[in-house]
């Protein structure tokens, strides 16, 4: 490509300081170094985790920063030694890398790489430098994805090649929201046919859990949200009962326990609040119930709970990106989408130009959107 080896000037949505809105800026993006890939981002989704960055409640995020971790694009150029993708390939970058070498990657049961953000900061690329500058200042990366930039640079082990036929303005969802929710049901909980499920939070992630529970053959799927506008879509995707905690004068866990006899087989928290995490745990059957935590809590959150909740046998699990090993799994999920085995399109409610990134986050905050897709 004509731009290969050169600095590219392009648009990006930058947050200069915690709590400040996005500014659309012209940024410089340096060429990829060895083992890195420069991608032209075509479409990127607005996920709740980026909202934490915006508010300054994402643990370890550094400013100024270019957020965004749910994007899809086309490889522009590659650094030395890169073999798994080439210029022109359609790709999806992902926030939980897969270096294939660390002890976690070598464990086939693990999908967390020790180079991930929770053990090694992803505010800069692995060589501890940034490829982004703006107005003479270095801008931080986020999650090694930074998909709110028209061109971004990521390590080869944090990007997967997908089918050339994939529509980028649809499959960007596989970079986070859809994969996270669907995988939480399929991989982490391993929902069984005929079982009962309860999903707390009906955003893009929670609705994807519902798609996963339905695909796994659950017989009853409770959908829980304080925003009843979310119920129509939840039903369309497979929820059998929709309930708002605000309609009851007792805790929602008691309501669900009564409705099911002893609690559901599987519960999921896709909100990210301490109270709903405990409510989700208490909503599953005291003995064989499994509760999966998906929601990202604000930095420094602390939970307190009655230990009896666990002593009687419940299983409490977390999940990152739905347990998928993304480098191998994203191409397969995209292929299933192309074969029409997965329909994630219903989750995309708004399409906006990148210049309207702040409006996109306002739609999410106000509960009006499920997923907005930003186009460059």
Nearer of residues 264 and 270 to Zn ion, judged by Cβ: 270
Is 239 a binder of ligand APR (CB under 6 A)? no
Is 55 a binder of ligand APR (CB under 6 A)? no
Part in contact with Zn ion (CB under 5 A); list of ranges 18-26, 102-110, 259-267, 303-311: 102-110
Part in contact with ligand APR (CB under 6 A); list of ranges 138-146, 218-226, 300-308, 322-330: 218-226
Angle, helix 357-365 to helix 48-55, in steps of 10 degrees = 100
Q: Are 219 and 247 in contact (CB under 8 A)?
A: no
CA-CA distance, 97 to 103, in Å (whole number)? 13
Part in contact with Zn ion (CB under 5 A); list of ranges 26-34, 107-115, 212-220, 360-368: 107-115
Sign of the Cα pseudo-torsion (288, 276, 204, 19, in order): negative
Q: Write out 133-180 in H/E/C secondary structure.
A: EECCEEEECCCCCCCCECEEEEEHHHEEECCCCCCHHHHHHHHCHHHH
CA-CA distance, 99 to 162, in Å (whole number)? 18
Residues 6+ apart with CB under 8 A from 236: 346
Which option in Zn ion, ligand APR, none does residue 224 bind, with CB closer than 5 to 8 A by kind? ligand APR
Of positions 49, 123, 147, 152, contacts ligand APR by CB under 6 A: 49
Nearer of residues 153 and 279 to ligand APR, judged by Cβ: 279
CA-CA distance, 138 to 132, in Å (whole number)? 6
Which option in Zn ion, ligand APR, none does residue 117 bind, with CB closer than 5 to 8 A by kind? none
Nearer of residues 243 and 334 to ligand APR, judged by Cβ: 243
- Token pair listed for 181: 């929710």
Which option in ligand APR, Zn ion, none does residue 294 bind, with CB closer than 5 to 8 A by kind? ligand APR
Q: Where are the alpha helices (DSSP H) in the chain?
A: 48-55, 103-106, 168-171, 177-183, 204-215, 231-237, 252-260, 274-283, 308-311, 326-338, 357-365
Q: Are 234 and 210 in contact (CB under 8 A)?
A: yes
Is 270 a binder of ligand APR (CB under 6 A)? yes
Is 67 a binder of ligand APR (CB under 6 A)? no
Rounded to a whole number of angstroms, the minimum distance from the CB of residue 176 to ligand APR is 7
Residues 6+ apart with CB under 8 A from 123: 60, 61, 62, 65, 140, 141, 142
- Is the preceding peptide bond at 202 cis, omega within 30 degrees of 0? no
Rounded to a whole number of angstroms, the minimum distance from the CB of residue 47 to Zn ion is 3
Of positions 37, 234, 271, 309, contacts ligand APR by CB under 6 A: 271
Residues 113-142 that bind Zn ion (CB under 5 A): 113
Rounded to a whole number of angstroms, the minimum distance from the CB of residue 205 to ligand APR is 4
Is 271 a binder of Zn ion (CB under 5 A)? no
Is 48 a binder of ligand APR (CB under 6 A)? yes
Rounded to a whole number of angstroms, the minimum distance from the CB of residue 354 to Zn ion is 18
Task: Determine how many CB atoms are found less than 10 A away from the CB of residue 4.
Answer: 13
Residue facing ligand APR at closest CB distance: 203
CA-CA distance, 216 to 260, in Å (whole number)? 19
Is 68 a binder of ligand APR (CB under 6 A)? no
Rounded to a whole number of angstroms, the minimum distance from the CB of residue 123 to Zn ion is 17
Q: Distances in Å between the alpha carbon of 201 and those of 217, 224, 293? A: 20, 6, 11
Is 203 a binder of ligand APR (CB under 6 A)? yes
Is 373 a binder of ligand APR (CB under 6 A)? no
Residues 172-201 that bind Zn ion (CB under 5 A): 176
Residues making contact with Zn ion (CB under 5 A): 47, 49, 99, 102, 105, 113, 176
Residues making contact with ligand APR (CB under 6 A): 47-49, 177, 180, 200-206, 224-227, 230, 245, 270-273, 276, 294-296, 364, 367
């Amino acid at each position: 490509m004509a731009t290969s080896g050169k600095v590219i000037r392009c648009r990006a949505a930058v947050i200069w300081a915690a709590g400040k809105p996005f500014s659309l800026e012209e940024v410089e993006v340096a060429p990829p170094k060895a083992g890195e890939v420069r991608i032209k981002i075509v479409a990127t989704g607005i996920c709740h985790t980026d909202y934490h960055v915006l508010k300054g409640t994402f643990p370890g995020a550094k400013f100024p920063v270019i957020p965004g971790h749910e994007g899809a694009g086309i490889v522009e150029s590659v650094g030395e030694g890169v073999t798994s993708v080439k210029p022109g390939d359609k790709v999806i970058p992902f926030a939980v890398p897969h270096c294939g070498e660390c002890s976690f990657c070598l464990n086939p049961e693990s999908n967390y790489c020790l180079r991930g953000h929770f053990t090694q900061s992803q505010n800069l690329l692995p060589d501890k430098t940034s490829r982004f500058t703006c107005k003479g200042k270095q801008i931080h990366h986020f999650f090694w994805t930074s998909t709110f930039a028209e061109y971004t640079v990521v390590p080869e082990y944090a990007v997967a090649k997908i089918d050339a036929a994939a529509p980028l303005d649809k499959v960007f969802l596989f970079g986070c929201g859809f994969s996270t929710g669907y995988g939480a049901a399929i991989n982490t909980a391993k929902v069984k046919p005929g079982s009962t499920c309860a999903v707390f939070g009906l955003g893009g992630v929670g609705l994807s859990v519902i798609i996963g529970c339905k695909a796994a053959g659950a017989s009853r799927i409770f959908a829980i949200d304080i925003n009843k506008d979310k119920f129509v879509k939840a039903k369309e995707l497979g929820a059998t009962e929709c309930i708002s905690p605000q309609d009851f004068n007792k805790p929602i866990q008691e309501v669900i326990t009564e409705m099911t006899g002893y609690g559901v087989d599987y519960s999921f928290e896709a909100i990210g609040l301490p109270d709903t995490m405990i409510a989700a745990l208490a909503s599953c059957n005291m003995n064989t119930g499994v509760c999966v935590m998906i929601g990202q809590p604000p930095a420094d959150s602390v939970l307190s709970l009655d230990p009896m909740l666990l002593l009687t046998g419940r299983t409490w699990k977390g999940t990152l990106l739905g347990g998928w090993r993304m480098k191998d799994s994203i191409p397969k999920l995209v292929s299933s989408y192309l074969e029409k085995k997965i329909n994630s399109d219903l989750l995309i409610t708004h399409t906006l130009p990148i210049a309207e990134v702040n409006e996109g986050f306002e739609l999410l905050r106000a509960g009006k959107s499920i997923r907005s897709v930003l186009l460059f």
